Amino acid sequence: MFASVGGHVISLLNYLGQLGVLVARTAESIVHGKARWRMTLRQIAEIGYRSQPVVVMTGAFTGAVLAAQALFQFRPLGLESGAGALVSVAMLRELGPSITALMLAGRVGASMAAEIGTMKVTEQIDALRSMGVHPIDYLVTPRLIAMLVAMPLLIAESAAFGIVASFIVGTAGPSGVNAAYWMDQVHQYTELNDIIIALTKGLVFGILIVIISCHQGLSVTRGAVGVGRGTTRAMVFSALALLVFNFFLTLLLNLIFPAGFGR
């Protein structure tokens, strides 16, 4: 039993070490490598523009459901107008970054792993090396830069649509909260700190998705079977990493940037 646990611990440490090496090489590539702006712009379109429909739908219905649940619980207390502030803060501090990142891990992360893994098994990455092109410069760095550009915008979009959807549910739904009261609560309790937390989480989540997904693609072996496994692992490992990091980021960032409800 202890030998099995020790083996899993060693495998985990080895995996984390490989991720650390990839992060270091990517950072070096960003600073000293060749800039590939055409590839970066293409990835921004793939990650940002083409992810908008799923992000908008997810954010809007998350905000709507949260508003409905808040109204059901607040109605006996006569605090219906406070649901708007709750949704606004929750969408910025927690749900917007988390849900957007999880959706991108499934849509974008799996795509990255599959594309790079296919290049690996068909020896296209070896061909890049033979032509003097570093795979990190060509495959990882443009995707990371594109994710860092697109992720904050997608999170802002998700949170905005969630807040708008909650406003519609709260003011036009059965509760019929006065729109002025709803907006006053949102304005009173939504602060710059909430936006800073959303963007900070987004940047960290974006780095996790790209590094884990690209690592899985670069580590693919055994042909098409390996590509499938790498794609699955990229999605699962990214989602687990997002949930773990989200917990610690929530604790840290809420200590640094306390919410308006707490003051």
Average pLDDT estimate for 96-115:
93
How many CB atoms sit inside 10 A of residue 164's CB? Answer: 14
Q: In one letter, which amino acid is 31?
A: V
Q: Decide if pLDDT at 263 tops 60.
A: no
DSSP 3-state percent helix, strand, coil across the chain (nearest 5) = 85, 0, 15
Q: In one letter, which amino acid is 137?
A: D
pTM of the full structure: 0.90
- Can you point out the beta strands (E) in the chain? none
**Any idea how long the chain is?**
263
Average pLDDT estimate for 84-104:
92
- Looking at per-residue confidence, does 226 or 151 come out higher? 151
Residue 3 pLDDT = 58
* Whole-number Cα distances in Å, 199 to 2, 43, 112, 206: 42, 20, 23, 10
45-66 tens-digit pLDDT: 999 999 999 999 999 999 999 9
140-191 tens-digit pLDDT: 999 999 999 999 999 999 999 999 999 999 888 777 778 888 888 888 888 8
Residue 75 pLDDT = 80
Residue 186 pLDDT = 87
12-38 tens-digit pLDDT: 888 889 899 999 999 998 888 787 888
241-250 tens-digit pLDDT: 999 999 999 9
Identify the band that residue 100 occupies on the pLDDT scale cut at 50, 70 and 90.
Answer: very high
% of residues, the chain, pLDDT over 70: 95
- CA–CA gap between residue 218 and residue 35 (Å, rounded): 21
